[in-house]
């Protein structure tokens, strides 16, 4: 079984690599490489540096959002542990299915030394859904105010789907009757069903007293982070000498973020195709749009690498400690 699972994981990883490379090959075959190279060669590094700093701040805001749910659910976790696993999640996002893979890493890491496992998962799930809800809110609001800039009603479809998914998810998670009905598919797996129901009851804590305000606070904070994240694309576009109204970025970037959750390597390839397609509606050259998206991915690599370095440090430190214990004869499990 372990060998079969390992083979399955390897094939899944290779499939994501193949998908990302295939999409990148497709998109690069459609753009003017000479013009793109000229634009990149004359890029304003000052704007890119500002965008990079803001990207780091956005990740700090998303960490604060997760902390809101951790405190609202009365989850026992130190700030250091939360920050550490948040960084691990950012690192995981680089090579696992975007966002979801990072969430799994955070959940496994915090659950390892916690007796509140359902609450750990609940905090991460609520954090993710609040992020998705903010994408829908920002995109819908920006589209309503900026519809005159974009004469394309087809954009209503993905935006409506984002909003609908957010509403349905909230209804399912907060309504015991609907949630328990959905959990019936696990009747033959009582331990899993019990864990899912326990998680629901933990999430339902947000409906008690004034705790619902914490959920609202998290969504508003998430809307702020999503809007500021769109500004990193705007600044990168300015660095590439593109003078577009920021309203385009507030509409397009949330849609690109949702598309990037499609199984690939850090959303690579999917994000670039989305950027090329959407920003073409604003008159941006596809090569420039792809370059803008790739620069944003470099920001992800920059921040995610911090988590990777920390992870390697923790692993190496743990091994040294075990080796020292073995050398001193303090343990027989060496």
Kind and range of the H or E element at 66? helix 45-72
Eight-state DSSP code of residue 147? G
Q: Coil, strand, or helix at residue 8?
A: helix
Exposure string over 59-97, b if 16+ CB within 10 A, otherwise e: beebbebbbbbbebbebebeeeebebbbbbbbbbbbbbb
- Give start and end residues of each alpha helix (H) in 29-44: 33-41
Q: Which of 119, 112, 136 lies closest to 69 in space, CA to CA? A: 119
Q: Is 225 inside a domain boundary?
A: yes
Residue 7: how many other CB atoms lie within 10 Å: 10
What's the total number of domains in the chain?
1
Of the chain, the end-to-end C-alpha distance in Å amounts to 26
* Residue 13, pLDDT score: 59
- What pTM was computed for the model? 0.81
What tokens appear for 319 in the block? 């091994």
Full DSSP string of 192-215: HHHHHHHHHHHHGGGGSTTTHHHH
- Rg (alpha carbons) of the chain, rounded to whole number: 22
Residue owning tokens 């959002």: 65
**Which of the residues in the chain have pLDDT under 50?**
1, 320, 323, 332, 334
Judge contact between 261 and 98, C-beta under 8 A: yes
Collapsed DSSP state (helix, strand, coil) of residue 117: helix
Cα separation, 87 vs 106, in Å, equals 9
Q: Determine the Cα–Cα distance for residues 328 and 334; give it in Å rounded to an integer.
A: 11
Domain-located, residue 334: no
Quick one: residue 74, left, alpha or beta (phi over 0 = left, psi -120 to 50 = alpha)?
Answer: left
Domain hosting residue 170, numbered range: 2-327
Closest C-alpha among 174, 189, 76, 56 to residue 126: 174
Q: At 240, give phi and psi (nearest 5°).
A: -95, 20
Question: Residue 333 domain-assigned?
Answer: no
- In 10 A of CB 39, how many CB atoms? 19
């Amino acid at each position: 079984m372990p060998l079969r699972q390992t083979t399955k994981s390897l094939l899944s990883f290779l499939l994501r690599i193949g998908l990302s490379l295939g999409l990148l090959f497709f998109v690069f075959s459609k753009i003017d490489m000479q013009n793109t190279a000229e634009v990149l060669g004359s890029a304003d590094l000052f704007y890119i540096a500002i965008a990079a700093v803001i990207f780091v701040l956005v990740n700090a805001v998303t960490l604060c959002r997760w902390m809101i749910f951790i405190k609202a659910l009365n989850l026992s976790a130190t700030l250091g542990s939360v920050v550490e696993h948040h960084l691990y999640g950012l690192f995981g996002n680089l090579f696992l299915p975007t966002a979801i893979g990072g969430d799994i890493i955070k959940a496994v890491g915090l659950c390892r030394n916690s007796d509140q496992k359902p609450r750990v998962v609940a905090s991460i799930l609520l954090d993710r859904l609040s992020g998705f809800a903010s994408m829908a809110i920002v995109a819908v609001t920006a589209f309503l105010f900026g519809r005159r800039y974009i004469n394309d009603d087809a954009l209503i479809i993905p935006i409506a789907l984002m909003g609908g998914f957010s509403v349905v998810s909230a209804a399912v998670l907060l309504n015991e009757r609907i949630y328990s009905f959905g959990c019936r598919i696990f009747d033959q797996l009582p331990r899993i069903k019990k864990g899912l129901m326990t998680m629901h009851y933990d999430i339902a804590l947000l409906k008690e007293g004034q705790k619902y305000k914490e959920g609202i606070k998290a969504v508003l904070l998430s809307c702020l982070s999503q809007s500021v994240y769109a500004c990193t694309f705007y600044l990168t576009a300015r660095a590439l000498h593109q003078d577009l109204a920021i309203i385009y970025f507030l509409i397009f970037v949330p849609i690109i973020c949702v598309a990037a959750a499609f199984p690939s390597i850090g959303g690579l390839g999917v994000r670039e195709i989305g950027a090329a397609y959407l920003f073409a509606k604003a008159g941006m050259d596809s090569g420039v749009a792809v370059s803008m998206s790739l620069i944003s991915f470099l920001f992800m690599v920059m921040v995610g690498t911090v988590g990777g370095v920390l992870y390697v440090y923790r692993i190496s430190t743990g091994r040294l400690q075990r080796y020292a214990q073995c050398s001193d004869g303090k343990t027989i499990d060496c």
